Structure 1
Amino acid sequence: MRRVVITGMGGVTALGENWADIRGQMERGETAIRYMKDWERFHGINTRLAAPIPDFTGADHYPRKKTRTMGQVAKMAVYASECALRDAGLIEDTVITNGRTGIAYGSSFGSPGPVIAFAELMTDGASKTLNAASYIQMMSHTAAVNIGLFFGVTGRVIPTSSACTSGSQGIGYAYEAIRWGKADVMIAGGGEELDVTEAAVFDTLYATSTRNDRPHTSPRPYDRDRDGLVIGEGAVTLILEERERALARGAKIHAEIVGFACNSDGNHVTQPQASTMQQALEMALEDAALAPEAVGFVSGHGTATEWGDIAETQATRDALRRAVPIHSLKSYFGHSLGACGAMEAWLGIEMMNADWFVPTANLENIDERCAELDYLMGMPRKIETEYLMSNNFAFGGINTSLIFKRI
């Protein structure tokens, strides 16, 4: 089995596109949660909160011939991948097009806008907006396909459309592809574009925050006064590379991936099970050949939904057997669905390398039903650790756990 390292990272988030800007805002306690005034016309949902990217212009320089098959999520994913490839020093490397580079990338859905064209066709018998690109923009693997088209990738493509684990599965499956010799380089990650329909999905389950007059106080992961999640958006790409290849070319290495696991609850589509979550974490430890005490920090899923927070923290405590330090970055970026696993991996690696971890925003009173863990609250904390665990859990009972090693 070959070792896998991360040589490039890039992303688009609601708090910026580079680590320095994002860190500065989090250090000041700022979050991306906003009141969405243009959602006032939607009377069927209760939440008016989201974490939008205010002005994404990264794809403006791309030619129309390249962007006609891209909706917003694909544009963000391609741009994040371009940034990551430049960071890795591979933007013009022949490995991208020689069949030894692949893609593992996901989103919950494609771009929702083109759905209207098909709805018009079904309801009115004709559509004014349906065109040859409508399905390509809408399909769940639009990000992966458009990344491949844009950069001329000819290796394997692994679409990971699994809701909140799309990004983490993308990284995990890319890791496995390199580890087992199926690729030398993988473009991995996830993206999601913000749309009111995504908020409506959770609103129908009474799982969204309705602190509409106090957006800066929500979401509140692990807090007894939580009232639900907030939807966000973004795209993040990691470039994974076989370790010996990276060393031979003198690449900068951000971290090594040493463990990955994925399983499913097999029980209920929306009610998470702590027991199978725990198994996923333990499987990741086994994959990394690590004892539980080796993990010095956990980037939690932390959606600020009642049963999700409780089950996750119980699983984390039981798998790691102690009150390990933990936070949830969704308190800053909202729940970016298909993007969150990749976004939390990127920022978790940056924090691990800086010995600096932010607290969970808005966490003031830990829910007594959550397991005993070292919840970061109030101020950033200096923590030195060699291993970071990043966990994500999705509808359908899909559980993922990634373990990163500091270089």
Structure 2
Amino acid sequence: MRRVVITGVGLNSPLGNSYEELYENLKNEVSGIHYVPEWEDIKHLGTKVAGTVKDVDLKSIPRKYRRSMGRVAQLTAISTTQAIADANLTQEMLSSRRCGLSFGSTMGANETMFEYVPEVKQNMSFRGQNSMAFLKMMSHTVAANIAQMFGIKGRNIPTCSACTSSSQGIGSGYESIKYAMSDIMICGGGEEHHYLSAGVFDVMGAASTKYPNEAHLSSKPFDESRDGLVVSEGSGAVVLEELEHALARGAKIYGEVIGYATSCDGSHITTPSEEGMKQVMQTSLEDAKLKPSDIEYINAHATATARGDIAESHATYNLFGGSTPVSSTKGHMGHLLGGCGVVESIICLIALNKSFLPKTMNFKTLDKECAKINVLAQNKSQNLNIVMSNNFAFGGINTSLIFKKYD
């Protein structure tokens, strides 16, 4: 089995558009969540808060590539550009059949769909429609567009599985290298800001509605006063590389991926399964050949929904007990949906390399129905060697990734 390391990172998020900016804003306890005044015009939409990406020049993407991209693909293309530059990959490396990619999102471009479908339905005609519209809306728009933009000729694995899209992307890339199908895999995912995504959770009673005038208080993972999640946007990309390949070219190494698992509950389309969550974490530990006590920090999925946080706390407690530090960084920036897994994986790299454990923003009192896990209410400095990142999605899709400091 070949070792897999991370040699490049890129991101844009409500909490910053670079590795260092993300670290500084986590350290300084900045909130990336804000009030969205234009959502006041959406009938029956209760939630009015979100986390959005700022200060990103989408027009820096050459037009010949940008014209087939909606915002979700554009955001991810910017992140991928950063990660490729950070890893110092040449075009020869990118175009090798030994270099592939694995990216996902919950959906394609929501705004394009809202413009395209009603017009076609109303006129019962495709005359005058933009020929690029479907390429923006299709579920694998991120993976397809990035492959074209960077001339990727190897494996292309679209991982469109809602909130596990980008963590499955990393896991698929890890397995591709581990089992010698690739030497380099560029992995990640993204999501774009749109009221459709917020409305889906709002209708289900799972979106935060209590704090439009104090948006920074809206996301409260594990806290007894939480009232739902905050839907946000963002994207990220990581360059995974076979260890000897990375060493041979003198690449810097952020960390090593040493464990991964994905599973399906096979029981309920929306209700989280404590047993399914526990199973995927256990399988990831088995892949890494570790014991639960080897994990020194867990970045939880914890979206601040009523049932999800409870199920995840019990699954975590039953496997790890009550001493392992746990935090959810969705309190800082909301839920990036298809982009959350990769951004939270980058936060795990920050934890390893900066000896820094981020707090759970807005957490004060553990919900009495949650298991008594060690939720961090304050930032903490601690030398770390091995950390875990977990994500869970509708359809009972689960992922667990384990990262190790490289030395």
Asked whether the two chains share a fold, i.e. TM above 0.5, the reply is yes
- Return the offset for 1:130: 2.3
Structure 2 letter corresponding to 1:342: V
CA offset at residue 166 of structure 1?
0.3
Structure 1 residue corresponding to 2:108, chosen from 99, 107, 110: 110
Q: For residue 259 of structure 1, what is the amino acid of its counterpart?
A: G
The 5 Å alignment of 1:8-407 reads: 8-57=8-57, 59-90=58-89, 92-115=90-113, 116-126=115-125, 130-210=129-209, 211-377=211-377, 379-407=378-406
Deviation at 1:44, TM superposition (A): 2.1
Counterpart of 2:103, as a letter, is Y
**In 1, Cα distance between the equivalents of 2:404 and 2:279?**
21
Which segments of 5 or more consecutive residues in structure 1 lack a partner in the other structure? none
Q: Report the Cα distance in structure 1 between the residues aligned to 2:221 and 2:287, rounded to whole angstroms.
A: 28
Percent identity of equivalent pairs: 41
- The amino acid across from 2:95 in the alignment is T
CA distance in 1, matches of 2:351, 2:241: 21
Deviation, structure 1 residue 131:
1.6
Cα distance in 2 for residues equivalent to 1:15 and 1:181: 36
Q: CA deviation at 1:276?
A: 1.2
Q: CA deviation at 1:322?
A: 4.0
Give the deviation of 1:349 after TM superposition: 0.8
Aligned-residue RMSD, C-alpha: 1.2
2:182 maps to a residue whose letter is A
Q: Deviations over 1:142-200 (max 9, x none)?
A: 11111100010001110011000001000000100111111110010110001000000
Distance, in Å, in 1 between the alignment partners of 2:213 and 2:17 is 28
Question: Residues of 2 paired with 1:322 and 1:259: CA distance?
Answer: 22
- Residue identity opposite 1:383 in structure 2: Q
Cα deviation, 1:42-98, whole Å, max 9, x if unaligned, reads 0121000100113321x32232112110111111111111100111110x2412102
Q: Is the 8 A contact 2:11 2:19 kept in 1?
A: no
* Matched-pair contact (CA < 8 Å) for 1:323–1:372: no
Cα offset, 1:127, TM superposition: 5.5
- C-alpha deviation, 1:383, in angstroms: 1.8
- The structure 1 segments of at least 4 consecutive aligned residues displaced by more than 6 Å after TM superposition are none
* Separation (CA, whole Å) in 2 of partners of 1:170 and 1:119: 32
Q: Secondary structure of the equivalent of 1:258?
A: strand
- Counterpart Cα distance in 2 of 1:19 and 1:113: 29
Deviation of 1:113 after TM superposition, in Å, equals 1.6
Query: AA paired with 1:268?
Result: H
Report if the CA contact (8 A) 2:61-2:74 is conserved.
no
Deviates more, 1:60-69 or 1:154-163: 60-69
Contact 1:279–1:319 under 8 Å retained in 2: no
Q: Which runs of 5+ in 2 are unaligned?
A: none
Residue 202 of structure 1 aligns with an amino acid whose one-letter code is F
Q: More deviation in 171-180 or 366-375?
A: 366-375
Q: Which moved more, 1:345-354 or 1:59-68?
A: 59-68
TM-score of the aligned structures, taking structure 2 as reference length: 0.97
- Compute the displacement of 1:30 (Å): 1.5
Distance in 2 (CA, whole Å) between partners of 1:56 and 1:231 is 19
**Equivalent residues of 2:321, 2:373 under 8 A apart:** no
Deviation track 1:307-354 (CA, whole Å, cap 9, x = no partner) reads 100111111111224421010011111101000000000111112211
| Aligned CA distance change for structure 1 residues 288 and 199 (closer, same or farther; 3 Å) | same
CA distance in 1: counterparts of 2:203 and 2:292, whole angstroms: 38
CA distance in structure 2 between the partners assigned to 1:111 and 1:297 by the alignment: 35
Query: Structure 1 CA distance, aligned partners of 2:106 and 2:296?
Result: 30
- Preserved CA contact (<8 Å) 1:76 1:234: yes
Aligned partner letter, 1:334: G
Q: What is the CA-CA distance between 1:390 and the residue it aligns to?
A: 0.1
- The answer as to whether partners of 1:190 and 1:236 remain within 8 angstroms in 2 is yes
What is the aligned length? 404
